[in-house]
Amino acid sequence: MRRGSVGAGLLLAACLALSVALVRRTDEQRAATARDEVLYLHSPALLRRLSLGHEGLVADLYWTRAVQYFGMRHHARKGTFPLLDPLLEIATALDPKLTVAYQFGASFLSPPPPDGAGQPEKAIELVEFGIRHNPEKWRLFYNLGFIYYLEMKDYARASEAFGRGAKVPGAHPFLRVLAAQTAEHAGEVETARLLWETTLESSTDPLVRENARTHLRGLQ
């Protein structure tokens, strides 16, 4: 019963070749028209229901999508990131304990283009949401103060954020120093240096450390 095998094999090869060609064409067209990505579902509440009890997993997926979205557009030098905030919002709403999403999300959202989305207000909203759900994470206060200081140039709020963070049990002792420094020496190069040095010292993430090093080099 293996008489048809040769015919089936040939037809299979032909179909495979044609379908690969068609898929490549789709890919090319997509690159040419560069239609923006679409976010099909905007409502975290709906997504929560659709995730059938696995919000954590869906949140992780959306966080990954956010990272990829940012990475791809950043790489392509697009300059705008319209879906970044909604993606982050969904990810964090589904899983408010997803602290990486606040920390890195804020650093994607706040810097001006092309390094970030240039939406520091959105970043602040995001981190504030994170603080409400994770008041024990001193690092979120640190992120918040950072955005106020560097992107918004709102030194009073920055100092306040560092101050609130310093009260969190187990907080890094530098937060207290930062609170004072930002209040008294607002806008000085020394303060900025201190901020980046703290980042460099307190973080273990190689990307974050590299970024801090770059900024420190720039301040010299």
Applying CB under 8 A, the residues found at the interface with other proteins are 1-5, 8-9, 11-12, 15-16, 18-20, 22-23, 25-27, 30, 38, 40, 68, 72
Taking the complex as a whole, the smallest distance from the CB of residue 10 to other proteins amounts, in Å, to 9
Taking the complex as a whole, the smallest distance from the CB of residue 64 to other proteins amounts, in Å, to 10
Taking the complex as a whole, the smallest distance from the CB of residue 206 to other proteins amounts, in Å, to 19
DSSP code per residue over 77-114: T----TTHHHHHHHHHHH-TT-HHHHHHHHHHHSSPTT
Of 22 and 57, the one with the shorter C-beta distance to other proteins is 22
Taking the complex as a whole, the smallest distance from the CB of residue 105 to other proteins amounts, in Å, to 20
Q: Are the C-beta atoms of 179 and 162 separated by less than 8 Å?
A: yes
Q: Measured between alpha carbons, how far is 183 from 156 in angstroms, rounded to an integer?
A: 6
Of 30 and 97, the one with the shorter C-beta distance to other proteins is 30
Task: Using CB atoms within 10 Å of the CB of residue 180, give its burial: 0 to 12 exposed, 13 to 18 middle, 19+ buried.
Answer: middle
Q: Are the C-beta atoms of 107 and 115 separated by less than 8 Å?
A: no
Taking the complex as a whole, the smallest distance from the CB of residue 54 to other proteins amounts, in Å, to 14
Q: Measured between alpha carbons, how far is 129 from 147 in angstroms, rounded to an integer?
A: 15
Of 53 and 169, the one with the shorter C-beta distance to other proteins is 53
User: Which residue shows structure tokens 């239609």?
Assistant: 35
Q: Measured between alpha carbons, how far is 46 from 119 in angstroms, rounded to an integer?
A: 26
Of 34 and 38, the one with the shorter C-beta distance to other proteins is 38
Q: How far is CA 170 from CA 101, 102, 174, 189, 200, in A?
A: 21, 20, 11, 28, 19
Taking the complex as a whole, the smallest distance from the CB of residue 86 to other proteins amounts, in Å, to 14
User: Which residue shows structure tokens 């520091």?
Assistant: 120
Q: Measured between alpha carbons, how far is 168 from 156 in angstroms, rounded to an integer?
A: 19
Of 32 and 170, the one with the shorter C-beta distance to other proteins is 32
Of 11 and 219, the one with the shorter C-beta distance to other proteins is 11
